[in-house]
Amino acid sequence: MLKSLVSTLFSLSLLLPSFSCLADDDDAAVLLKKMDELFRSKSSVSTMKMEIITPNWQRTLEMQSWTIGMDDTFIRILSPRKDRGVATLKKNKEMWNYFPKINKVIKVPPSMMMGSWMGSDFTNDDLVREVSLVEEYQVSKIAEGENYRLTLIPKKDTVTVWGKIEFIVNQQTLLPLEQSYFNEKGDKVRTMLFSDIRDFSGKKMPAIMTMIPLNKTGHKTIIEYVEAKFDTDIGDNVFTLRNLQTRF
């Protein structure tokens, strides 16, 4: 069962060097917006690999995703064969999963947005991003050596399981190095590492995101962007329930 899916899946937008002289609170929000849009941009079409690693088993999925801004996301599994055609559609605040083996569309309730996707360490919200970080969190920024630390505290009306989120961002490239999630008690419960900077369609971005749950020894999930195009035309028929059920 599709449990949850980023950027992560994991927003695509280049973090431009022109922000290297950011000042405090207002500029922290500008930088957070760049984090919010990472891997998305105005639109994106990407091919990715997801490797799920546990102490007892490993599996690799290949998938393709389409996004429009922060609102619309479509993800389809390409392989392995037994999962081929499984798909996820998110429009605005609503999300559906399609399972070709049973030819059934299942709507994902808000209570399941923090559940695991395909047995991975990424959640539905990580991959389709139900909420905008810059809209839902207060952010502050401090300089630490060669990096910035962004600290995100949920706003009063924000519904989230996280008590705090932190980003470590390189000051020179303005690309993220690490993202950590804390529970309401202040305990760090998972960390996402960004690595392997590559050029996609003229944009430099981390090609690999590694999610590590700190409460499950030996578990991690790695997402690798293999191909990515941004600010490209995407047909209106992509983000539809009809397309969700398309067999191929």
Picking from 179, 121, 150, the residue whose alpha carbon sits closest to that of residue 29 is 150
- Identify the helix (H) or strand (E) that includes residue 127: helix 124-128
CA distance 155 to 85: 38
* Average pLDDT score, the chain: 85
- For residue 100, whether the previous peptide bond is cis, meaning omega lies within 30 degrees of 0, is no
- Of the listed ranges 21-25, 186-190, 212-216, 228-232, the least confidently predicted one is 21-25
User: What pairs with residue 164 in β-bridges?
Assistant: 182
User: What tens digit of pLDDT does each residue of 44-102 get?
Assistant: 999 999 999 999 999 999 999 999 887 889 999 999 999 999 999 998 888 999 999 99
Listed by start position, the domains of the chain span 25-244
Give long-range contacts, CB 8 A cutoff, 24+ apart: 72-81.
72/239, 73/9, 73/127, 73/128, 73/129, 73/239, 74/238, 74/239, 74/243, 74/244, 75/5, 75/9, 75/127, 75/128, 77/118, 78/47
Would you tell me which CATH number, out of the four given (1.10.357.10, 3.40.50.1820, 3.40.630.10, 2.50.20.10), belongs to the domain 25-244? 2.50.20.10
pLDDT digits (tens, 9 = 90+) for 116-139: 888 899 988 887 765 678 888 999
Token pair belonging to 152: 């995100």
**pLDDT, tens digit (0-9, with 9 covering 90-100), for 181-223:** 999 999 999 999 999 999 998 888 999 999 999 999 999 999 9
Beta strand pairing call for 203-213 and 220-230: antiparallel
